[in-house]
């Protein structure tokens, strides 16, 4: 990698070339955990409890996979571009295969395709965040770089969650999900070469350090603890939103509109978080955003049949704060890497955040789906009030508690200089 002076404010064209890859990459993250479990449960008849077990087992794979991706990136930094190309192939194949099951039992197929898509997502996302984290030293630039990247990611999320809902009424649900895989492939074919061209001309502080110790819990543990709680609190609503809209609100035809409102609201939230984070500091701004999000989750406890207007307001409010959740944690982690002199282990540090992101999404499903099954909940079927209460409290009550705990830890750790 090349060294040299780094301006605090990178040119817009370079930031765009770097961040655009986050748009197709977003197809393989949150949207999979929104669409895939509900598709397998409601359309293919797979039991909720069984899906929860598989999602839990997938975390054991990620527990090995993500640290290995991080270790390989730090051990062979020149191999990162090849790793990202391999990741693109795996991600496209996994997403396409997930929605076109064939040959094997459904649960086995679901697990294999999720592993393949998850591996591809890790190979790209871990290295993408690493390049952004060591590209510029100035804290304000890190927030701006993170903001642009997550802005593209949000654009990808918006397309990934709204496209299937819009096409399903015309071509059916499975065909609409296959269209999602096709758009992912096209996006990767456009954005990955653009990124690789940018990488060849950029300057970084990355070097191979085979003997460097991985970042320890003492340096990054407090950050990971807060980030894990926040990610898990966002994962429960992501895993259950389609069931909540269809089975509690009775507004299945508005599912796409709710998702669109949430992610569209996250766009100005991400831009505002990136701006304020560069001006006032990422930690104070993130703390304020988390406090604001509490109001949204509290309001969700009042949801019931027909409360469409209330849910739109909740989607807008929580979407706005979700933008901060996307932009600020990577910027905080990058600053922490610089403060602790851990640049040689930067990829492993970002791999930890990538692991927490996927672990939260799968853990939420592994917890929520069996709990709903025990409460007697059945997707796309009439449900007793007890089952709907369980859906409401798992969707909003658990995230409310997790966010409150995260806020307390974030304030405490920041005062002690550990975040």
Report how far residue 406's alpha carbon sits from residue 232's, in angstroms, rounded to the nearest whole number.
Answer: 10
- Predicted local confidence at residue 2, as pLDDT: 40
Average the pLDDT over 154-175 and give the result: 85
Residue 373, pLDDT > 50, answer yes
Closest CA to 235 of 329, 367, 92: 367
Q: Mean pLDDT, the chain, as a whole number?
A: 86
- Predicted local confidence at residue 140, as pLDDT: 59
Residue 262 lies in a domain: yes
Residue 3 lies in a domain: no
User: What's the pLDDT tens digit per position in 52-95?
Assistant: 888 878 877 877 787 888 888 888 888 999 999 999 999 999 99
Helix (H, G, I), strand (E, B) or coil at 100: coil
Closest CA to 138 of 299, 7, 23: 7
Residue 33 lies in a domain: yes
Residue 321 lies in a domain: yes
The number of distinct structural domains making up the chain is 1
Instruction: Supply the DSSP symbol for 43.
Output: I
Report how far residue 219's alpha carbon sits from residue 336's, in angstroms, rounded to the nearest whole number.
Answer: 8
Instruction: Print burial letters for 287-322: b (CB count within 10 Å at least 16), e (below 16).
Output: bbbbeebbebbebbeebeeebeeebeebbbbbbbbb
Question: Domain limits at 64?
Answer: 12-415
Residue 5 lies in a domain: no
Virtual torsion, Cα 218, 221, 222, 223, nearest 10 deg = 130
C-beta of residue 345 within 8 angstroms of C-beta of residue 212: yes
Residue 49 lies in a domain: yes
Secondary structure, 3-state, 323-388: HHHHHHHHHHHHHHHHHCCCHHHHHHHHHHHHHHHHHHHHHHHHHHHHHHHHCCCCCCCCCCHHHH
pLDDT classification of 4: cutoffs 50, 70, 90: very low
Instruction: Print burial letters for 248-283: b (CB count within 10 Å at least 16), e (below 16).
Output: bbebeebbbbbbbbbbbbbbebbbbbbbbbbeebbb
Which residues does 157 contact at the CB level (< 8 Å), separation at least 6?
26, 29, 30, 31, 263, 266
Residue pointed to by tokens 């739109």 = 312
Q: What angle do CA 129, 135, 136 make, to 5 degrees?
A: 120
Report how far residue 385's alpha carbon sits from residue 243's, in angstroms, rounded to the nearest whole number.
Answer: 14
Residue 2 lies in a domain: no
Report how far residue 116's alpha carbon sits from residue 237's, in angstroms, rounded to the nearest whole number.
Answer: 24
Could you report how far apart the first and last alpha carbons of the chain are, in Å?
28
Q: pTM of the full predicted structure?
A: 0.74
User: What's the pLDDT tens digit per position in 18-62?
Assistant: 999 999 999 888 778 778 888 998 889 888 888 888 887 887 787
Query: HSE-up of 337 (CA within 13 Å, CB side)?
Result: 33
Q: What is the CATH number of the domain that holds 399?
A: 1.20.1250.20
Q: What percent of the chain has pLDDT over 90?
A: 47
């Amino acid at each position: 990698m090349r060294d040299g002076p780094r301006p605090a404010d990178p040119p817009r064209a370079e930031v765009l070339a770097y961040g655009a890859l986050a748009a197709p990459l977003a197809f393989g993250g949150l949207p999979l955990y929104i669409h895939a479990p509900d598709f397998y449960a409601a359309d293919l008849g797979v039991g909720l409890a069984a899906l929860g077990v598989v999602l839990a087992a997938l975390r054991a794979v990620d527990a090995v996979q993500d640290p290995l991706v991080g270790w390989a990136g730090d051990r062979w930094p020149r191999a990162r571009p090849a790793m990202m190309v391999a990741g693109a192939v795996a991600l496209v194949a996994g997403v396409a295969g997930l929605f076109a099951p064939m040959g094997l039992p459904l649960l086995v197929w679901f697990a294999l395709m999720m592993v393949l898509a998850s591996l591809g997502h890790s190979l790209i996302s871990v290295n993408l965040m690493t390049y952004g984290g060591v590209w510029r030293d100035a804290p304000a630039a890190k927030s701006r770089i993170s903001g642009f990247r997550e802005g593209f990611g949000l654009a990808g999320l918006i397309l990934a969650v709204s496209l299937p809902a819009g096409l399903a009424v015309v071509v059916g649900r499975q065909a609409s999900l296959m269209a999602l895989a096709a758009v992912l492939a096209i996006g990767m074919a456009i954005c990955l070469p653009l990124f690789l061209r940018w990488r060849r001309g950029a300057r970084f502080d990355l070097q191979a350090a085979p003997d460097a110790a991985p970042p320890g819990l003492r340096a990054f543990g407090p950050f990971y603890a807060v980030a894990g709680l926040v990610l898990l609190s966002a994962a429960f609503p992501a895993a259950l939103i389609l069931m909540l809209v269809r089975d509690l609100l009775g507004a299945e035809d508005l599912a796409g509109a709710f998702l669109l409102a949430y992610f569209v609201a996250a766009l100005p939230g991400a831009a505002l978080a990136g701006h304020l984070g560069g001006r006032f500091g990422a930690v104070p701004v993130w703390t304020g955003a988390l406090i604001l999000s509490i109001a949204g989750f509290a309001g969700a406890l009042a949801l019931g049949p027909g409360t469409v207007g209330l849910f739109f307001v909740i989607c807008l409010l929580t979407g706005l704060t979700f933008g901060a959740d996307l932009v600020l944690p990577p910027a905080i982690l990058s600053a922490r890497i610089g403060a602790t002199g851990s640049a040689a282990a930067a990829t492993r540090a970002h791999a930890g955040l990538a692991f927490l992101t996927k672990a939260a999404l799968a853990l939420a499903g592994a917890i929520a789906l069996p709990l709903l099954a025990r409460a007697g909940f059945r997707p796309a079927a009439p449900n007793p009030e007890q089952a709907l209460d369980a859906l409401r409290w798992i969707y909003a009550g658990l995230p409310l508690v997790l966010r409150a705990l995260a806020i307390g830890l974030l304030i405490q750790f920041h005062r002690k200089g550990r975040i």
